[in-house]
Structure 1
């Protein structure tokens, strides 16, 4: 698999979208998620907007807080990346 120059931006964007979708689907605020995951609320906001890349520890903490298994998150992230890579996808 060859990495593209802007692949980390795309990965961060996809992760942020998945994180926001999971959080809103569970009906919890950024503040509650940040408390449960042990991070600052502003960091959740930065993650959701694709401006930061989380550490592996943070990803596992987010999974616990969202009551989702790591492999489920990985599958959702892969699906989101495929969606974003679809030429017919309307980039925002």
Structure 2
């Protein structure tokens, strides 16, 4: 999985876990709602500035979001290689 796609998947999960709609997250972060949608779909990628704004809106450290993306990518790699299965 591409990092941009993984970032979008993780952002959607974190947003939903926080109980926020795309519109609410955008409002809290000071960005456009359609930009949140584009990020979540992996079409656009956030700048560092946007990452910090989104993290603040989610009440998280930016590094925690990146770590979640790394974990998501690692799970995908293990699943693809068959390492995630107990035979």
Band the TM-score falls in, shorter-chain normalisation: 0.7 to 0.9
How many residues are treated as equivalent by the alignment? Answer: 81
* Greater displacement, 22-31 / 71-80: 71-80
Note the residue ranges of structure 1 that are not aligned, 5 or more in a row: 1-8
Relative to the length of structure 1, the TM-score reads 0.81
1:6 is matched with none
Relative to the length of structure 2, the TM-score reads 0.86
**Structure 1 residue 85 displacement after superposition:** 2.1
1:75 is matched with 67
* Greater displacement, 69-78 / 47-56: 69-78
Note the residue ranges of structure 2 that are not aligned, 5 or more in a row: none
2:56 is matched with 64
